[in-house]
Amino acid sequence: MRSNSPYIVADIGGTNARFGLVTGTNSDQKKLQIDQQRTFPSNDFDNLEQVARHYMESLGEVKLSGACLAVAGPVTGDSVRLTNLNWAFSISDVKRALNLSKLKVINDFAAYAYATPFIDSSNLISLNEGQSIEGSSIAVVGPGTGFGVAALVPNGNSWTVLPTEGGHITLSNKTTLQQSVIQALSTEFSHISIETLLSGPGLINLYRGLAKVEGINPENLRASQISQGALQDPSSLEYRCLKLFCAWLGQAVGDLALALGARGGVYLGGGMLLRFVDFFIGSDFMNRFLAKGQMQEYLHQMPVKLVTEGNSALLGAAAWFEHN
């Protein structure tokens, strides 16, 4: 551990703000030790400074060497605006207000990507074994409050993280059903991106679009209720919606894997998929991931892993702080 005193790490998303305190290195596993972990609903606070101060006050008299915050939005220069939360801030202003000697702010999926080499194999579910090619890029993607996309690109003996806004790429639609859903929602959205349908809020949009296609009056359900309903009743609209979600996700992730040349592997994070792991594993995700014509064998060689490690963004933020 390079830092001489504890520092804060955080994963700030549209739904939750998760914090932890890096206090050292686990002597048994040689891993960064993240203690004092707490989660706060993001909407309970007016801005990032407020929630960060709330967490810092809960720590008592701890001398901090700084903080690294992973946020759900693009980070360019000093100004940051979260994509799915009405928070905007200046990094330098927050650093000064919180009296921190060092403050790093990175994209949340950049943090997920940076954590990838540190995730234990016990926290990975293999969806496709493939064969990782040394020196190739790794794709880290996944649905949450938004849809995150980042890449880990080899750079000599280390890695460079490439944060992207790939979740806002236009969602491809191949099947008649997909085209019908897009058409049904076209009056609501001027642009239907991957995130529009393949995220937590996206699942609600997909549910509503599929109901329109089937001529059904949908219930007013949250994303968690849709996934739970799918697990309980295979004859339900919720089941058909989640089935379509998983297949469409495979199609989109396959596109992203090709675009990023992810011969080092594809890692699925974001947290949302962990609500229905068995359903997801048994879905058409991999079939649609591979269905790219002459590029099917190329994709078949890519390892595809589902990340079950809940601390990925915190771990990635810690690793970033240690090396930057």
Asked if 148 contacts 167 with a C-beta cutoff of 8 angstroms, the reply is yes
Asked if 119 contacts 85 with a C-beta cutoff of 8 angstroms, the reply is no
- Which CATH number applies to 7-107+311-323? 3.30.420.40
On the question of pLDDT at 107 being above 90, the answer is: no
Q: What is the mean pLDDT of residues 65-72?
A: 94
Task: For domain 121-308, give its CATH number from 3.40.640.10, 1.10.10.10, 3.40.367.20, 3.40.1010.10.
Answer: 3.40.367.20
Give the pLDDT confidence score for residue 114 in this predicted structure: 87
Give the pLDDT confidence score for residue 118 in this predicted structure: 79
Query: What is the share, in percent, of the chain residues with pLDDT greater than 90?
Result: 75
On the question of pLDDT at 29 being above 80, the answer is: no
Q: What is the mean pLDDT of residues 102-119?
A: 88
Token pair, residue 45, equals: 């606070």
Higher pLDDT, 311 or 235: 235
Mean pLDDT of all residues in the chain?
92
On the question of pLDDT at 161 being above 50, the answer is: yes
Asked if 176 contacts 207 with a C-beta cutoff of 8 angstroms, the reply is no
On the question of pLDDT at 305 being above 80, the answer is: yes
Q: What is the mean pLDDT of residues 175-191?
A: 97
Which residue type occupies 9? Answer: V
Give the pLDDT confidence score for residue 155 in this predicted structure: 85
On the question of pLDDT at 1 being above 50, the answer is: no
On the question of pLDDT at 30 being above 80, the answer is: no
On the question of pLDDT at 261 being above 70, the answer is: yes
Asked if 125 contacts 277 with a C-beta cutoff of 8 angstroms, the reply is yes
Q: What is the pTM of this model?
A: 0.85
Q: What is the mean pLDDT of residues 262-284?
A: 94
C-alpha distances out from residue 277 to 126, 273, 282, 309, 316, Å: 12, 6, 9, 13, 23
- φ, ψ of residue 202 to 5 degrees: the values are -65, -35
The model's pLDDT over 286-301, given as tens digits with 9 standing for 90+, comes to: 999 999 999 999 999 9
On the question of pLDDT at 238 being above 50, the answer is: yes
CA distance 278 to 273: 10
Give the pLDDT confidence score for residue 157 in this predicted structure: 79
CA distance 311 to 196: 26
Confidence band, pLDDT 50/70/90 cuts, at residue 25: low
Q: Tell me how long the chain is.
A: 324
Domain residue ranges of the chain, discontinuous segments joined by +: 7-107+311-323, 121-308
Q: What is the mean pLDDT of residues 150-154?
A: 90
On the question of pLDDT at 265 being above 60, the answer is: yes
CA distance 318 to 70: 10
On the question of pLDDT at 53 being above 50, the answer is: yes
Q: Where is average pLDDT lowest: 25-29, 40-44, 71-75, 93-97?
A: 25-29
